[in-house]
């Protein structure tokens, strides 16, 4: 699962903006859609400091990846980061916000959904999860 935590100034995004951003982010992935989580965290100016200066013009995005990991191939990684940047650009760069994005990776072995260890990537069981858009018990032979 990728989990996006988006820390942003109060009032930066409407409900419609959040829905559109969540859709754009989810669309960059080929994994089951329900794996993609996005949390929006409003930060008052007096609660967001950079270099000991209160900021209301900065968006901080932290991604945690569990389902897939970024490739060690620098070209692939650069391409993926460009896709992620393009997905959020209308909501950060194009609105004049300064922003930062980073990806942290958790070993797949330390991840569960509804008490189930997810199936292997691209396995038959994962394809079923993607089709059903939910976690469900599966035959270990298929996943």
Tens-place pLDDT, residues 12-70: 999 999 999 999 999 999 999 999 999 999 999 999 999 999 999 999 999 999 888 87
Predicted structure pTM score: 0.92
* All domains in the chain, ordered by first residue: 2-132 (3.30.429.10)
Beta-bridged to residue 3, according to DSSP, are: 37, 64
Tens-place pLDDT, residues 71-121: 778 888 889 999 999 999 999 999 999 999 999 998 888 999 999 999 999
**Do 61 and 99 touch, CB atoms closer than 8 A?**
yes
The predicted pLDDT at position 131 comes to: 95
């Amino acid at each position: 699962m990728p989990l996006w935590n988006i820390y942003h100034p109060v009032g930066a995004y409407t409900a419609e903006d959040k829905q559109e951003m969540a859709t754009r982010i989810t669309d960059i992935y080929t994994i089951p859609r329900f794996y993609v989580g996005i949390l929006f965290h409003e930060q008052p100016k007096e609660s967001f400091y950079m270099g000991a200066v209160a900021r209301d013009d900065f968006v901080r995005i932290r991604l945690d990846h569990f389902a897939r990991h970024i490739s060690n191939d620098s070209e692939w990684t650069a391409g993926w980061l460009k896709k992620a940047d393009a997905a959020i650009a209308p909501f950060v760069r194009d609105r004049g916000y300064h922003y930062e994005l980073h990806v942290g990776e958790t070993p797949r072995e330390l991840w569960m959904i509804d008490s189930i260890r997810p199936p292997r990537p691209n396995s038959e069981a994962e394809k079923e999860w993607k089709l059903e858009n939910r976690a469900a018990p599966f035959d270990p032979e298929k996943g």
